[in-house]
Amino acid sequence: MNSTLPRRTFLAGSLALLAARPALGQRQTHANLGVPAMKIRDLYPLITTPVLVEARDFYVTHFDFQVTFEATWFVYLTGSGEDGTRGATLAFMHPDHPSNPPGPEAFGGLGMILTVETSDAASLFERLQRGGAPIVYPLIEEGWGQRRFMTRDPAGVLVDVVEQIEPAAGFWDQYMVKE
């Protein structure tokens, strides 16, 4: 993305691409294979943790997620979208679950960041701080165009709360891919 384009121009271009997609009900095919395109209903992380209840309560309390399904070893959470957006989905599973798929080891807290985009990171920062959530990176405005802070959930997942803002003039110039 050219950093000199305003964010709304980028968004308008993205909307134009969406509008150019085939209408609902039309058959889409994968461009390279000529086979019907796969339709994805949802995509969410499933985090294995022994602190299932604490993880559930963290997202319900601090991010207003709703419990959509809950069993003794699994919890599925959904968060409302903003201004017509789809929202978010997140799931947790206890390491002693009966389903036994590959990889049931508990998440160790390294190598994953869950990004939560909001339109008001400062308000959410204040809310989480007042609510006792651990703040592991303070609220700051980053040169690349985000107001953000980080917290960590009880399962050890690093949660990066971001608000898109105007990047510093010329910031992206040094990182753009040259054709």
Render pLDDT for 105-125 as a digit per residue (tens, 0 to 9). Answer: 888 888 899 999 999 999 999
Pairing mode, strands 158-164 and 146-152:
antiparallel
CB neighbourhood size of 48 (10 A): 20
- pLDDT over 60 at 14, yes or no: no
pLDDT tens, residue by residue, 53-70: 999 999 999 999 999 999
d(CA 136, CA 25): 46
Beta-carbon-side half-sphere exposure of residue 169 (alpha carbons within 13 Å): 0
Overall average pLDDT of the 131-147 stretch:
97
Taking the C-alpha atoms of residue 94 and residue 52, their distance in angstroms, rounded to an integer, is: 6
Identify each DSSP E strand in the chain by its residue range: 46-48, 66-70, 74-79, 88-93, 113-117, 135-142, 146-152, 158-164
Which one has a higher pLDDT value, 162 or 36?
162
pLDDT over threshold 50, residue 21: no
Q: pLDDT class for 22, splitting at 50, 70, 90?
A: very low
Sheet holding 74-79, edge to edge: 46-48, 88-93, 74-79, 66-70
**78's tokens:** 């959904």
Average pLDDT over residues 26-44: 71
pLDDT above 70: residue 92? yes
**Rg of the chain over all Cα atoms, to the nearest angstrom:** 19
